[in-house]
Structure 1
Amino acid sequence: MPSASCIKIFGRDDSVSVNGIITNRLKRLAEEVAYLKQERDATPNLRAYQRNQRLKKAVERSLQVAIEVCFDISQRIISIEGLPPASTYRETFETLHQAGVLSSELTFRLKQMVGFRNLIVHDYTRIDDERVYGILKRRLGDFEAFAEEIERYLSGE
């Protein structure tokens, strides 16, 4: 099994040295997911979520960071592999899917998350608390699935 600092890429005989960027990003993703799970478990319902402005802002930011971490990792892999650069977040995940790194189901879900991220960043006046709360309650597994698929890729499986 390759070490975290030296991985075999797509079965090639030569190894590519990875300077820890992907590993560090995966750790950051795990931290964000752990925080979000903590808040999810401490928030009994939508109404409690809606009443807590500090919680709403923290959850929105943490979800944004988690999505951007997935994007950063994906961009790094595209660069390492010499794949065609993507011009959008959605294309980035599609490129990894086409290269066999991400499953089609996860790619679809990540593309949906990109739309959510864009809403937070660019159209923040229209953030729907129900949508955010729904992601908090039901979609954190998408980030864990992303980490698993990236770790599988890193291990050469």
Structure 2
Amino acid sequence: MVDKDILQRKLSFIDLKLHNLETLKHLERHDFLASFQSVDSAKYNLQVCIEALIDISNHVIARERWGIPGTSAEAVKLLIKHGVLDKDKELSIVQMVKFRNRIVHLYQEVDDSEIYRILQENLDDIKDFIQAVMSKFF
């Protein structure tokens, strides 16, 4: 059985970081790209949000005894298999995990314009993950 306190702490953390990202989202593209503080803040907040999503996924899988995923993408697929996430969310969440890996390991290849695009187009994917976990376990 999942530890709801752990989930709640991680979900609250994600919510706080999403608030930061929403603030950055409202910057004009030119202003965002001209500010290394904004770009770096967005990268960090995205990275830790996604890391917390991965942590939540692994916590649920371990506590529910659904197996041992070899990768974070496999963890997402296990959540889908067991009805925590809808199948239509697989691509977006797997892309998030891959993006997190790029920020951490291939950081020199991450284009700042891509960060801005993610702020504009993909924050709802994180919100959807939170809602799915909340619906299933609370």
TM over 0.5: yes
For the aligned residues, what is the CA RMSD?
Answer: 1.2
Which residue of 23, 28, 50 maps to 1:44?
Answer: 28
Partner of 1:138: 121
Misfit runs of 4+, over 6 Å: none
Which residue of 27, 30, 40 maps to 1:57?
Answer: 40
Counterpart residue type for residue 28 of structure 2: P
Deviations 1:97-148 (A, max 9, x none): 0111111121210101111111100011111112111111111111110010
Partner of 1:148: 131
Alignment length, in residue pairs? 138
Deviations 1:6-55 (A, max 9, x none): xxxxxxxxxx46251001000001001111001111x112x222110011
Counterpart residue type for residue 107 of structure 2: Y
The question of 1:34 aligning with 2:34 is answered: no
The question of 1:25 aligning with 2:10 is answered: yes
Q: What CA distance in whole angstroms lies between the structure 2 residues aligned with 1:144 and 1:94?
A: 18
Percentage identity across paired residues of the two chains: 27
Q: What CA distance in whole angstroms lies between the structure 2 residues aligned with 1:139 and 1:70?
A: 14
TM-score, normalised to structure 2, is 0.95
Q: What CA distance in whole angstroms lies between the structure 2 residues aligned with 1:143 and 1:103?
A: 13
Which residue of 91, 97, 100 maps to 2:80?
Answer: 97
TM-score, normalised to structure 1, is 0.84
Q: What CA distance in whole angstroms lies between the structure 1 residues aligned with 2:10 and 2:28?
A: 30
Q: Relative to 1, partners in 2 of residues 1:144 and 1:17: Cα closer, same or farther, differing over 3 Å?
A: closer
Structure with the higher fraction of residues in helix conformation: 2
> Which structure 2 residue ranges, 5 or more long, are not aligned?
none
Moved more, 118-127 or 99-108: 99-108
Partner of 2:107: 124
- Select the structure of larger CA radius of gyration: 1
> Which structure 1 residue ranges, 5 or more long, are not aligned?
1-15
